[in-house]
Amino acid sequence: MHPAITRTLEVVQHRNHSEPVFLQAVQEVLETLSPVIEEHPEIEEQNLLERLCEPERQIIFRVPWRDDKGNIQVNRGFRTQFNSVLGPYKGGLRFHPTVNMGVIKFLAFEQIFKNSLTGLNIGGGKGGADFDPKGKSDEEVMRFCQAFMNELFRHVSYKRDVPAGDIGVGAREIGYLFGQYKKLTNSFELGVITGKGASWGGSLGRTEATGYGTVYFAEEMMKVKSDSLQGKTCVISGSGNVALYALQKLQELGANVVACSDSSGVIYDPKGLDFDALRMIKEVERERIGKYTDVHGSATFRPDAKVWDIECDAAFPCATQNELDAGDARKLVKNGCRLVCEGANMPCTPEAIEIFRGSEVNFAPGKAANAGGVAVSGLEMQQNAGLEHWSFEQVDKELHKIMRGIHESCLRYAEQYHRRGDYVSGANIGGFLRVAEAMICQGLI
């Protein structure tokens, strides 16, 4: 490893010792950058790595709100504005009880490189709260979103920082957040948030974008191996936004998706899952996944299981960070899986990735493969700025083009820096170079 990287990792570890997932994300990126630092001594001269690992700004705030029983609840809100050299901070909001500063920082750090890879002018940021939407009424979710925006509105705008959804934040929450922003600022500022409803400034295709984009990326990976997704047996973890639309696109391309999950367990049907039934249960009714077996008697529900135990050709981790560990990776390899494409952010542990890289598995990291969501958010900002509304077909065509472009960049940078076929190195190097060049051009700020 280049000494500048070792030094930076020491500093970052010292400064952030209580944030393991942030350290994991930083290490995973920096470890692949040695050949770039060797070729560009100005990166070390300008102490660029240390600057890159320190967020430009972090905001932590109290979110007091009233539940349906009249009790006052308090949550903690976060927004990390990590890097803005390529454009306004851009990244989702996560509402989940496990959210803390380290989680938001790791997600914002990943977002810098992901957003860079899209080729759009968007910087890296992320936010959220340790609020658990599970079991809350619509009214409670609305009051929470309003309370969250009561502070966040000071820090966001179409030219400063543009949030969107992530775990626990979908169309319903984006609506409440936008409504409160509008009320507080007395302005209909379309570009302040993405993932909006299509009738009030949202982009068609944003709901589907992350899942579809992940599958478009996987399709490109298969093409490189002179293969396709047609007829492949696939498993997907999660059953939220990313998982559902990955499932839909995989089926459209002729793959057989036999399993998916939520935090209560796995549903499995060797004949393939029914997208419409699953979407109804998870997206509309917000029920637990076990309910699927009421609709489809041929499916089985395995409580507390993981989808990685099931034999498959391709696996799509689409739920959450570190959900696929070394043991899971070994099982997938042993069972003949040949492609792992990350729809979630950092779902595979470093040990699991090492196992994939040392095997026949073709592995794609989330910061490249799941960039379709933020890319279409960028297209939503573009439509808002031009007061335009594109058709679904136009958005989908652009998304497909962007995903092919990211895939091509990953392979090109991997090749250029002597890591042929290594998507992890290609994504990190490609994402990093664009940010590094902009940081150098914009001076010591």
Ligand X SMILES: NC(=O)C1=CN([C@@H]2O[C@H](COP(=O)(O)OP(=O)(O)OC[C@H]3O[C@@H](n4cnc5c(N)ncnc54)[C@H](O)[C@@H]3O)[C@@H](O)[C@H]2O)C=CC1
The binding site for substrate consists of 90, 111, 114, 165, 377
Is residue 323 close enough to count as binding ligand X by CB under 6 A? yes
Is residue 342 close enough to count as binding ligand AKG by CB under 6 A? no
Cα gap 87→277, rounded to integer Å: 40
Q: How far is the CB of 208 from ligand X (least distance, A)?
A: 10
| Three-state secondary structure string covering the chain | CCHHHHHHHHHHHHHCCCCHHHHHHHHHHHCCCHHHHHHCHHHHHCCHHHHHHCCCEEEEEEEEEECCCCCEEEEEEEEEEEECCCCCEEEEEEECCCCCHHHHHHHHHHHHHHHHHCCCCCEEEEEEECCCCCCCCHHHHHHHHHHHHHHHCCCCECCCEEEECECCECHHHHHHHHHHHHHHHCCCCHHHCCCCCHHHCCCCCHHHHHHHHHHHHHHHHHHHCCCCCCCCEEEEECCCHHHHHHHHHHHHCCCEEEEEEECCEEEECCCCCCHHHHHHHHHHCCCCHHHHHHHCCCCEEEECCCHHHCCCCEEEECCCCCCECHHHHHHHHHCCCCEEECCCCCCECHHHHHHHHCCCCEEECHHHHCCHHHHHHHHHHHHHHCCCCCCHHHHHHHHHHHHHHHHHHHHHHHHHCCCCCCHHHHHHHHHHHHHHHHHHHCCCC
- Choose the binding region for ligand AKG from 39-47, 68-76, 88-96, 300-308 (rule: CB under 6 A): 88-96
Residue numbers 179-218 binding ligand X by CB under 6 A: 210
Is residue 256 close enough to count as binding ligand X by CB under 6 A? no
Q: How far is the CB of 289 from ligand X (least distance, A)?
A: 7
Which of the choices ligand AKG, ligand X, none does residue 91 contact, using the CB cut-off of 5 to 8 A by kind?
A: ligand AKG
Is residue 239 close enough to count as binding ligand AKG by CB under 6 A? no
Which of the choices ligand X, ligand AKG, none does residue 272 contact, using the CB cut-off of 5 to 8 A by kind?
A: none
- Choose the binding region for ligand X from 141-149, 225-233, 312-320, 388-396 (rule: CB under 6 A): 312-320
Cα gap 247→235, rounded to integer Å: 9
Is residue 349 close enough to count as binding ligand X by CB under 6 A? no
Instruction: Single out the residue of 166, 208, 274, 398 in contact with ligand AKG (rule: CB under 6 A).
Output: 166
Instruction: Single out the residue of 129, 156, 164, 410 in contact with ligand AKG (rule: CB under 6 A).
Output: 164
User: Which residues are annotated as part of the binding site?
Assistant: 90, 111, 114, 165, 210, 241, 377
Instruction: Single out the residue of 272, 373, 426, 431 in contact with ligand AKG (rule: CB under 6 A).
Output: 373
Which of the choices ligand AKG, ligand X, none does residue 194 contact, using the CB cut-off of 5 to 8 A by kind?
A: ligand AKG
Is residue 92 close enough to count as binding ligand AKG by CB under 6 A? yes
Q: How far is the CB of 444 from ligand X (least distance, A)?
A: 32
Q: x/- contact string, 373-412, with ligand X (CB under 6 A)?
A: x---------------------------------------
Task: Please confirm, yes or no, whether 367 is among the known catalytic residues.
Answer: no
Q: x/- contact string, 102-121, with ligand AKG (CB under 6 A)?
A: ---------x--x-------
Is residue 80 close enough to count as binding ligand AKG by CB under 6 A? no
Cα-Cα-Cα-Cα torsion 407, 412, 414, 420, nearest 10 degrees, comes to: 100
Q: Which is nearer to ligand X, 269 or 380 (CB)?
A: 380
Which residues carry out catalysis?
Answer: 126
Residues contributing to the site for ligand AKG (CB under 6 A): 90-92, 111, 114, 164, 166, 194, 345, 373-374, 377
Residues contributing to the site for ligand X (CB under 6 A): 165-168, 170, 210, 237-243, 261-263, 318-320, 323, 343-345, 370, 373
